[in-house]
Structure 1
Amino acid sequence: MKSIIYKRASSIDELEQIRTLQLQNSSKNITSEEKLQEGFVTVQHTVALLEQMNLVCAHIIAKDNDIVVGFALVMLSGFRNEIEVLIPMFERIDGLVPKDKTFVVMGQICVDKNYRKQGIFRGLYHFYREELQHEFDYLITEVAAINLRSMQAHEAVGFKTINNYEEDGTVWNIIAWDWT
C-alpha cells in the first residue's frame, strides 16, 4: 500500500504539480470514453492564480513521497471573478446560502489516474473538512451533470444537489456538503 499523506499546499513545486495534474485530466485532453469512465476537470488555473488562492487559504493535496497525486482546491468567494466560467455558479450560490451562514468553494478535485480507487478522493475531502469546518458551514462546488463518476463520488462523501442550471449547453449541478 502506498503511503499517502494529506496536507495543505505550501510550495511552488506543489502548485506546479497541481497544474500538471489538471492538464493531464482536462476535458480537452482526454477521450470521450475516458471522460465517461474516469471523470474530468473543466477549468485550468495558472500557477500564479493557484498561488494567489493558496496564500489566502491553502489548497488540500495528497502526496506520495514528493509527488502530488491528488488535490482539492480551496476557493474563497473573493476569487469569484477570476475564472469567468465560475461566475454564474457564484451568483447562484449567493441566493442559495442563508446570509448568516459561511461557505467555501471546492474549486476542483482530481486524483492521478494511477492512484484512483484507493480512497484518496474521500481522503482529500475528509482532510478538507477537518481543516476548514471550524471556519465554514458549507463546502460547495459544481459538477457537470454529464460527469456521472464525479457526481456519484461527491454524493458518496455527503454532498447533496441544491440547484442546477444550464450554461452554454452544459447542465451544472451545484452541490453542497453541510458541515453544521
Structure 2
Amino acid sequence: MIAYKQASTQKELEQILALQQQNLPKSLSNAEKEQEGFLTVEHSYGILEEMNAACGHIIAIEHEKVIGYALCMHPKFCNSIEVLKPMFQEINKVIKNNCNYMVMGQICVSKEYRGKGVFRGLYKTMKEKLPMGFDTIITEVDAKNQRSLHAHEAVGFQELKRYLIDNKEWSLIVLK
C-alpha cells in the first residue's frame, strides 16, 4: 500500500535523488522524454536537505522505498538554483501581495507507478501539509513536456502565464 508523508530521513532524501537521476534528460531517450515526460533540475543533496528543513518534501512510499516525490521549495530559496531564478521573477510579476505561495520545485513518479494516482496523491498531501499561512502552490512546466502539462491540468492547475527564457518556453501554473 502506498503511503504519503513528508521526507524526514537521509535515506529518503537519497532515494529522491536516485529517482531524480533516472528521470533527467541525460538518462532518457527522446521517445521516453516525449511519452513519459522529464525533469529539468538536478539537485545536490545539500540544497535538497536545506529545502526539506524549511518545508518537508512530500514523498510516496511503498515497502520503505520512495516511489514518487513533490519537492517543496519555500520562496526564500529563490536565488538558490540558477535555472529557477527566472521562474521566481515571473511569479513576482503576476502574484498579488496577499498571496502566500509555496513552489512545487519538482514532481516525479517512478515509471512503474505512473497512471495509478500517485501524482494526484502527492499534490493532495502537499496541499494538506502546506505550512500555516501558505494557501497556494505554484510551479512551472517546460512547455514541451506535454505529459506533465496535462497531468497538472488534471489535478486543477491553471496557467498564470507563458514566457520564454533562453529560447525555452515555460508555463507558470497555480493550484489554489
Q: Which TM-score bucket, shorter chain as reference? A: over 0.9
Which consecutive unaligned segments of at least 5 residues does structure 1 have?
Answer: none
- Percentage of pairs with the same residue: 49
Tell me the distance in 2 between the aligned counterparts of 1:144 and 1:66: 31
Tell me the distance in 2 between the aligned counterparts of 1:136 and 1:40: 28
1:136-147 correspondence runs (5 A): 136-147=134-145
Which consecutive unaligned segments of at least 5 residues does structure 2 have?
Answer: none
Q: Quick one: which of 153, 159, 163 aligns to 1:165?
A: 163
1:122-161 correspondence runs (5 A): 122-132=120-130, 134-161=132-159
One-letter code aligned to 1:121:
F
Q: Quick one: which of 4, 7, 18 aligns to 2:5?
A: 7
* 1:111-135 CA-partner distances (Å, limit 9, x unpaired): 0011111100000001111111753
Deviates more, 1:164-173 or 1:81-90: 164-173
One-letter code aligned to 1:131:
K
Partner SS state of residue 25, structure 2: coil
Alpha-carbon deviation of 1:56? 0.9
Q: Is 1:73 aligned to 2:71, yes or no?
A: yes
Q: Show the counterpart of 1:99.
A: 97
* Contact 2:137-2:174 within 8 A present in 1 as well: yes
Tell me the distance in 1 between the aligned counterparts of 2:12 and 2:167: 34
Alpha-carbon deviation of 1:137? 2.1
Please give the TM-score of this superposition, normalised by the length of structure 1: 0.95
Q: Show the counterpart of 1:110.
A: 108
Tell me the distance in 1 between the aligned counterparts of 2:20 and 2:168: 20
Q: Is 1:120 aligned to 2:124, yes or no?
A: no
Tell me the distance in 1 between the aligned counterparts of 2:43 and 2:58: 15
Tell me the distance in 2 between the aligned counterparts of 1:44 and 1:93: 21
Tell me the distance in 2 between the aligned counterparts of 1:125 and 1:137: 13
Tell me the distance in 2 between the aligned counterparts of 1:135 and 1:150: 28
Aligned length: 176
Tell me the distance in 2 between the aligned counterparts of 1:55 and 1:76: 10
